[in-house]
Structure 1
Amino acid sequence: MTTAAGDERSMPVPDGIEGERLDAAIARMFGLSRTRAAELIADGNVRLDGSEPGKSDRVQAGSWLDVTLPPPPAPPTATAEPVPGLATVYEDDDIIVVDKPTGVVAHPTVGWTGPTVLEGLLASGVQLSTSGAAERQGIVHRLDANTTGLMVLAKSETAYSVLKRAFKERTVDKRYHTLVQGHPDPLRGTVDAPIGRHPSGDGRFAVVTSGRPSVTHYDTLEAFRSASLLEINLETGRTHQIRVHMAAIGRPCVGDHLYGADPTISERLGISRQWLHAMRLRFEHPTRGGTVEFDSSYPPDLVAAVEQLRED
């Protein structure tokens, strides 16, 4: 039953999550983040066998679970406004490639009140594929809010299905540049380590044995006294993958305070976000075939940081 507060669900705990923490179980059952699941429990929106549980309580198979889920994010509306700085790199009847500025997410999500790529394009009159959830129409991959660079979106239904499959099958060549603290050893290498939600449940991700397979290839382009400019080739596309893998080898992205970057370095370089830019996309065009490739230049704040390091 759907109410003004959300969607009410009642069901027994499945056998497959016997013994898990309640917040982890709810996250798995309803496709939520563990942080959001913990918030539902704390707000009294979860009952286990008729009682209000704690987020760390262990669930037993067959126990009765009552959950009031939050309403889904509202679909983009016609009143959305164009997003300043969101530039169109290429557009045809099937795809549109954009250069995303910082402070913009791909699509509306619960809790995000800032601009989105999706709403910005719709407000500019771009017609996108309607496949998938209404709040994610046309979206075939994402960038973090404060990661800049290239994104491709599907305009036709055929393009949507072909591009989704291409990203899933890892046939899209995604290249990023990132500035990391110190110098990786070796200067060229691969980080092959599974990524999952951080055990703290605070919204971060981490290298964990129970995570999903994640592979990041890196190559040093330029070494400075206290930092290195790397080119990254992603074999997989996990949330925060580059940021997590660089932090895991002791070389966090400059400015990425969430994953352990030194704030004194980012302050000296004038960086208020992670130095990470999606600079190249190469893939087979979803309808007419043939390889297409797009490149993006660094935005001014990233350029200034590199120039400062060169002067040093």
Structure 2
Amino acid sequence: MEDLTIEITKEMAGERVDKAVSSIDGDWSRSQISNWVKEGAVKVNGETVKPNYKVRLQDIIIVTPPELEELDVVPEDLNLEIVYEDEDVLVVNKPKGMVVHPAPGHAKGTLVNGLMHHCTDLSGINGVVRPGIVHRIDKDTSGLLMVAKNDAAHASLVDQLVKKTVTRKYVALVHGHIPHDKGTIQAPIARDPKERQNMAIVDKGKHAVTHFRVLERFGNFTLVECRLETGRTHQIRVHMKYIGFPLVGDPKYGPKKTMDIGGQALHAEVIGFNHPRTNEYMEFSAEPPAEFAELLESLRDKD
């Protein structure tokens, strides 16, 4: 990866160096840049600085990204719940707390590690770290994912995602009493310019549409079904916060006073697609995990 040279402009002057660099390149998070500053991979006017260094007009910053660590993806028996499988595709019910594919800091225990133990025939389009992975859900979101077992199936499923013909329905518990029974949120999503590790509603962001309907109300909480028309990063979490009903337990987008349930109350309940070989429409569903169901029961008891 080539070095990046940045000259500080009037608009950037006064910002912390880690924030200034991460705002220039959206592929690098602020925490990642901060670590690089500490390691001496980011220099200002040829000198090493601390992450809280405030950049000045005409400072020259040179970023030398460290060589990416080669990840050795090891098959692991993770007792995955396979909902459906044939020679082309499989549908897996990912548990809450499991990362989808290996990355620095998450080399083991990911869905990909488990898939590689379960079967050896996975598509290679996304390389050795993400074999078979067509789409993702967040670590602390549970639920259904479709996985491609060969490149032809992978191409077909991606094409269906692009054409918005894949059915993806989630159930989410949100803060607040939603008065209307259904609605559509259409608001563009991009990296939050103020906090690069978060997503936000940004005027020039990517087109994003979420349809929702109320399933049940519990006083100051509402259970909703969200159907994705597009699939942006953190889309449901960002959209529900945007209309004033953030997800319960969400550490990024939820209110400061939320339930401590180990992450957002969000479950990918339904996935539907046309089979890559037969073109037959197939749809699968999985009930929310036990802790999600228990949370709902506790709210019902309080009503």
| Shorter-chain TM band | 0.7 to 0.9
Counterpart of 2:3 in structure 1 is 10
Alpha-carbon displacement from aligned partner over 1:273-292 (angstroms, at most 9, x marks no partner): 21110000111111221111
- Where 1:122 maps in the other structure, the secondary structure is helix
How far apart are the structure 1 equivalents of 2:194 and 2:115?
36
Counterpart of 2:17 in structure 1 is none
Aligned pairs for 1:97-116 (under 5 A) are 97-113=91-107, 115-116=109-110
1:32 aligned onto 2:28: yes
Specify whether residues 215 and 39 from structure 1 end up closer, same or farther in structure 2 by C-alpha distance, changes over 3 A only.
farther
What is the CA-CA distance between 1:69 and the residue it aligns to? 3.0
How far apart are the structure 2 equivalents of 1:94 and 1:48?
52
Q: Residue 240 of structure 1 is aligned with which of 234, 249, 266?
A: 234
How far apart are the structure 2 equivalents of 1:58 and 1:35?
21
How far apart are the structure 1 equivalents of 2:10 and 2:121?
45
* Structure 1 stretch displaced more, 190-199 or 151-160: 190-199
Counterpart of 2:153 in structure 1 is 159
Which ranges of structure 2 fall in alignment gaps of 5 or more residues? Answer: 13-19
What is the CA-CA distance between 1:34 and the residue it aligns to? 4.4
1:293 aligned onto 2:283: yes
Identity within the alignment, %: 35
Q: Residue 93 of structure 1 is aligned with which of 87, 98, 103?
A: 87
Aligned pairs for 1:63-212 (under 5 A) are 65-72=62-69, 74-77=71-74, 80-84=75-79, 86-113=80-107, 115-201=109-195, 203-212=197-206
Q: Provide the alpha-carbon RMSD of the alignment.
A: 2.8
Specify whether residues 64 and 158 from structure 1 end up closer, same or farther in structure 2 by C-alpha distance, changes over 3 A only.
same
* Structure 1 stretch displaced more, 208-217 or 174-183: 208-217
Specify whether residues 262 and 183 from structure 1 end up closer, same or farther in structure 2 by C-alpha distance, changes over 3 A only.
farther
How far apart are the structure 1 equivalents of 2:56 and 2:136?
34
Counterpart of 2:269 in structure 1 is 279
Alpha-carbon displacement from aligned partner over 1:133-163 (angstroms, at most 9, x marks no partner): 2201111100111101100111011011111
Please tell me whether the aligned partners of residues 22 and 56 of structure 1 are also in contact (alpha carbons under 8 angstroms). no
Amino acid at match of 2:40: G
How far apart are the structure 2 equivalents of 1:72 and 1:305?
40
Specify whether residues 263 and 133 from structure 1 end up closer, same or farther in structure 2 by C-alpha distance, changes over 3 A only.
same
1:23 aligned onto 2:22: yes
* Count of aligned pairs: 291
Please tell me whether the aligned partners of residues 128 and 137 of structure 1 are also in contact (alpha carbons under 8 angstroms). yes
How far apart are the structure 1 equivalents of 2:107 and 2:257?
26
* Structure 1 stretch displaced more, 190-199 or 116-125: 190-199
What is the CA-CA distance between 1:112 and the residue it aligns to? 2.3
Alpha-carbon displacement from aligned partner over 1:93-120 (angstroms, at most 9, x marks no partner): 1111000111101101122255211111
* Structure 1 stretch displaced more, 302-311 or 205-214: 205-214
Counterpart of 2:16 in structure 1 is none
Which ranges of structure 1 fall in alignment gaps of 5 or more residues? Answer: 1-6
